Structures are given as C-alpha cells and as structure tokens.
Amino acid sequence: MTSNSQLPTPHSPPSVSRTIALIGANGMLASAVKRVLPPGYQLMAYGLPDFDITNRSQVLALQDSAPDIILNCAAYTNVDGCETQHELAMQVNGEGPGLLAQLASEIDAVLVHVSTDFVFSGDKKEPYHEEDPTGPLSVYGQSKLLGEQRIIESGLKKYFIVRTSWLYGLGGNNFVETMIRLAKERTELKVVDDQWGTPTWTDDLAEAIFQLLTLGDTPHPSPLTPPSPYGVYHFSNEGECSWYQFAVEIIDQARKSESLKVENILPIPTEGYPLPAQRPKYSVMSKEKYKAATGRQVPEWRESLGKYFQERF
C-alpha cells in the first residue's frame, strides 16, 4: 500500500538516535552537514591531520566506534592539481572510498559518498541521468569515478553515492567567493560562457543527504522507487547556467550588500582561460530520481544563492 502520507517528512528524525562518522570533517560540505544536522543524529568528526582516508588501519579502526552511518566528505578537490598529483588523487578519491566501503560492510553501516558531475564527458545536450555512461575528461573525474567503482564493486548494499556539481557554501574556497574577491579588486572580469552546469549550495546538498538517509530508514517509501532505496543519485540545485551567467548573478546579488569595484563582466570561450584540467562542456544533472524517491522538490539555483548571501552577511 502506498500513499503520499508515507513519504518521509523533511528531517523526520530517526526512530532511535544514530551515529554518523563524518569523514573529511574540516571541509566545506562537512561544515554544512554540521550546520543542518537534524535532531536524532550524533556526529563523530574525522579529518586531517589526525585521520587520513588513505590510511587503511586508521579507517578500519573506526570499527571500534561502530557508527551507524559513514558520511564521506573527504576528497582531494583541487581539480587542476590532480593533473600533476595523479597518485594522490587516485588514493584519496579512489581507494579511500573503497576502504570506507569495506569498513561499512564489516560493521553493517550505511555509507554516503559524495561524487561529481566531472565523471561525465559533457557531450550530452540534456541533463545527465544516473545510469548514463560516464567518461571523465580529467584526472580528478577519473579518480572520483574510481571511488564510485570501488564502492559498488565492494559488494556493500547500503550505500548512497550522491553526485553533485559547482558546490559553494560557507567555510570553503569556491567560485562565489572568488568572484566576490575579484569584483572588489578589478573593474573587469572575464568568465567562461561555454561550459554549462548547475550551482549547488552546500546547505541544500547536506539537507538532501539527510533526506536520503531518512529514505534508508523507510522501506518502500514511494511507488516510484525500487524496494532498495540505495544506489547512485544526482543532486544539484535546479536549473542551469554557464559560469558567466553564474558570475553575473553572483555580482548582482553581492552588490546589494557589498561595495564592488567591477564594472564589466565579459563572456569568454574556454580557450580564453586555459587550465590544466579539461572540464565537461555540459554537466547538468537530472534530479528526477532524487525527487521521486524523497517526494521533495529541489530549490532553484538563484534562490539558493540568495539564501547563501543571507547566511553569509
């Protein structure tokens, strides 16, 4: 029997208190997880320098604290740095998640792992679905895909792999903060206008992760989801834009509360701003699976940017 009344409510607390091992606890997304933590969850934080996801004995020692949930926010996220730090990228973004999957299997925990739109080539002209073929263009994308594969091939059943894109939020270096800094220093900004994607506010992603975890507590939550809610999901904000359009919106919204020097923002092609790592031209992701599974809507990217500015100032 199914009805909408059976869908999990936002942040409905787990029936018993559950412990989360938050891995990569000092990063930008992890800081949002701490901010939006719903009642009924207890966090145990693990991050560098004390805890290294690539250190097998450190990872497997988490068995002693026996978390119910392992939430992996750790990653080597310097996309261009990955091009010269191939081995480090593969260890942190690839093998590390595999170790976490092994740990989760041994203690029967749920693993939540965050991945990226950069696993796709960007050849499509319409939003990517979870089952679309991957084809990373960069070492970063390859290393994140390896992390997904290590989890899936580990045999672990209870995992959520959540691919996201263009992440910004409090507590991290990100495109929004870079644009604001440059807009205070320069009169003119040149921004790439031929790469399309969707910005994602960390707080929305953190809330979505808790929605998925609630789903894990609720067997058969919706007629549209298979019996097991686990697997790969896409989550970004709703809508799409180019980096140039994102920059224009950032500056428009920032101007309401900050004094900025910038007068012109110019659209340029990718070739006008060469970087070591190749990026997908189009990496918008469909959120239909997430929406069907959780019964939740996804905030539009401009609206979430506005909320970030309210939180930021």
Angle, CA of 167, 211 and 281, to the nearest 5°: 30
CB nearer to ligand NAP: pick between 51 and 282: 51
Distance in Å, CB of 25 to ligand NAP, minimum: 7
Distance in Å, CB of 54 to ligand NAP, minimum: 5
Q: Please report, to the nearest 10 degrees, the dihedral formed by the alpha carbons of residues 104, 106, 107, 109 taken in order.
A: 20
Rounded CA-CA distance 198/109 in Å is: 31
Q: Is 41 a catalytic residue?
A: no
Buried b (16+ CB within 10 A) or exposed e, 284-309: bbebebbbebbbbebbebbebbbebb
The answer to whether 54 contacts ligand NAP (rule: CB under 6 A) is yes
First to last CA, the chain: 47
Distance in Å, CB of 75 to ligand NAP, minimum: 3
The answer to whether 95 contacts ligand NAP (rule: CB under 6 A) is no
Instruction: Single out the segment in contact with ligand NAP by CB under 6 A; choices: 24-32, 149-157, 251-259, 304-312.
Output: 24-32
The answer to whether 199 contacts ligand NAP (rule: CB under 6 A) is no
Here's the x/- map for ligand NAP, 122-161, by CB under 6 A: it reads as ----------------------x-----------------
Six token digits for residue 151: 């989890």
Six token digits for residue 176: 């929004």
Q: Are 72 and 113 in contact (CB under 8 A)?
A: yes
Of the residues 41, 46, 140, 159, only one is catalytic, namely 140
- Which 214-273 residues touch ligand NAP, going by CB under 6 A? none
Which residue in 104, 167, 176, 215 binds ligand NAP (CB under 6 A)?
167
HEC per residue, 180-220: HHHHHHCCEEEEECCCEECCEEHHHHHHHHHHHHHHHHCCC
Q: Are 130 and 289 in contact (CB under 8 A)?
A: yes
Distance in Å, CB of 290 to ligand NAP, minimum: 15
Q: Give the catalytic positions in this structure.
A: 140
Contact positions vs ligand NAP (CB under 6 A) = 24, 26-29, 47-48, 51-54, 73-77, 92, 114, 116, 144, 164-167, 172
